[in-house]
Amino acid sequence: MDVTFDVINDTPAGQPGSGAFGFMIIGTYDRGGSASLQDWLKANLPADSGALKPITWANSAEAGTDSNGHRFALTPHHVVEVDVRGDAIAADMWQRLDSWRFTS
């Protein structure tokens, strides 16, 4: 785990979603010699190495969602994992995946 965030929807009281709360966990792992995201999962997280549902995530080479809702992105040197806890916030966060930029 690299970083965690408490996420709060700070819209004015009385508006939809006001005060919604979530928790986001971001992990960054060395890609090593893995040619694909599935190869990396099999080597590093065997319990999570089931089929991923492909998703588009900014400029990643490959990305997917596992059966637990964790998002994984394969970049030239790393694998990034994001786990958002809190349904109210998760939907908003997943809509913003294209705003991410992986630089290494």
* pLDDT, the chain, mean: 85
Average pLDDT over residues 44-61: 85
CA 6 to chain centre: 15
Which of the four pLDDT bands, split at 50, 70 and 90, describes residue 1? low
Residues 6+ apart with CB under 8 A from 61: 74, 75, 76
Predicted TM-score (pTM) of the model is 0.80
